[in-house]
Amino acid sequence: MSIALVLLAAGKGTRMNSEMPKVLHKIAGAPMLAHAMRTGAVLAPERTVVVAGHGAEAVALVAADLDETSDVVLQEDQLGTAHAVDQARGALADFNGDVVVLYADTPFVRDETLQRMIDARQTHHLVILGFEAADPKRYGRLMMDGESLERIVEYKDATEAERAITFCNSGLVACDRAMLFDLIAAVGNDNASAEYYLTDIVEIARARGLSVTAVACDEAETLGVNSRADLAQAEAIFQQTARAQLLDLGVTLAAPETVFLSYDTVIGRDAEIEQNVVFGPGVTVESGARIRAFSHLEGCHVSGGAVVGPYARLRPGAELAENVHVGNFVEIKNAILGEGSKANHLTYIGDASVGKNTNIGAGTITCNYDGVFKHRTEIGDNVFIGSDTMLVAPVSVGDGAMTATGAVITRDVDPGALAIARAKQDNKPGRAKKLMDMLKARKARVRN
């Protein structure tokens, strides 16, 4: 069966109190829109249509970055959910198959839930996703008769008896494309809000003798994000779920509640993550690696047996081979460290390549930026870089070479060579006391 996704992303999100479109606010380092699109991707959709409104240009850029084949259509006037879905009519005019309507601000619907909706479509014309609400609040209520869904009543239009029902509408819909838009064409706006409700298609379908049902999911899957408080709650839910999944996969988390993961973090079995570690987007940590406390990783790859931290920072493009050690207050950016190499203290390695079994001394800096361009540093195998070495890129240090402590390396170092690049030390007998006396006298004059 061919599937098309329609993601509703037009809401301004007034309660977010933000200039940014609501669906671009991030959970675990990714816009809510990305979470919804990734969920829908489990259905292998042939088409994806994002209905944008407020901040449509920004939404379109993010959607294209996530899926370059997606279409973005504009809902200029916010006239209700049926009106929003109807904006995708033209984009899907030549599509034959089922349409699944998702909400970009409802990021936690599970893959299995969407698949159950598609399965239910085999025996029903129209499928709605519902949930049993602990506190139904202002959700639309699903009026069931056995397996048949008779109608959906919006809270504003519900009687007291109808409001007592706890089986509620999530807003998600699955239906044949032609049938869906035919039903939407019959929706009116004779209701308390004068809006075109997507929920009205249920009653219209029933009146036409079509089979309608509701699939139930856990309430947690239907969390909608409408405020900063909701966003914080969604972040907490994501983190709790992601941590539990890692523990089940055999990852050691010394203090799970202090580890923060991104939407795409990948950590292998038997890896060890200490407390207060933050993973930004794009991180892979292989089996058997150890990430020590208070480290921050983003856009990097850590191989098995490597040790990172404590207090280390891996930035985008950092690539650590097997058994690499990166220690406290070391920053790696756009650099490759070969197998068994070490940078254990107070070091910056940027735009560089480091070979195997090389030792980078404390205080080393690859001086990669000249104010306009970035330049690379190439360091070979079995190199010893002395403490406080400044490597002024572009520069290379050959296999088996050494640099003296405090060296400023501005020229290539041949393999096996010892590079000494520092001014000659000159000791001045008795000058320390004279200088200190002079400075103290100057300070006394300033005070007086």
Q: Measured between alpha carbons, how far is 413 from 395 in angstroms, rounded to an integer?
A: 8
Does the pTM surpass 0.85? The reply is yes
Q: Is 54 a catalytic residue?
A: no
Q: Measured between alpha carbons, how far is 210 from 222 in angstroms, rounded to an integer?
A: 26
* Mean pLDDT lowest among 10-14, 219-223, 397-401: 10-14
Q: Measured between alpha carbons, how far is 126 from 124 in angstroms, rounded to an integer?
A: 6
What are the pLDDT digits (tens) for 238-296? 999 999 999 999 999 999 999 999 999 999 999 999 999 999 999 999 999 999 999 99
What pLDDT does residue 221 have? Answer: 94
Which band of pLDDT confidence, cut at 50, 70 and 90, is reported for residue 1? confident
What are the pLDDT digits (tens) for 91-141? 999 999 999 999 999 999 999 999 999 999 999 999 999 999 998 888 899
Q: Measured between alpha carbons, how far is 8 from 33 in angstroms, rounded to an integer?
A: 9
Length of the chain: 448
Long-range CB contact pairs, 67-70, < 8 A, 24+? 67/37, 70/37
Q: Which residue's structure tokens are 């992303």?
A: 9
Tokens of residue 180, six digits: 């869906």
Domains of the chain: 3-222 (3.90.550.10), 228-419 (2.160.10.10)
Q: Measured between alpha carbons, how far is 430 from 448 in angstroms, rounded to an integer?
A: 28
Given 35, 54, 125, 345, the catalytic residue: 345
What are the pLDDT digits (tens) for 336-349? 999 999 999 999 99
Q: Is the peptide bond before 429 cis (omega within 30 degrees of 0)?
A: no
Tokens of residue 68, six digits: 């370059």
What pLDDT does residue 157 have? Answer: 82
Tokens of residue 111, six digits: 């893959």
Which band of pLDDT confidence, cut at 50, 70 and 90, is reported for residue 366? very high
What pLDDT does residue 155 have? Answer: 85
Residue 326 three-state SS: strand
DSSP code of residue 13: -
Contact status, residue 391 vs residue 364, Cβ threshold 8 Å: yes
What pLDDT does residue 8 have? Answer: 96
Question: Would you state the torsion angle of the CA atoms of residues 18, 21, 24, 27, taken in this order, to the nearest 10 degrees?
Answer: 40
Nearest alpha carbon to residue 306 among 266, 277, 339, 276: 339
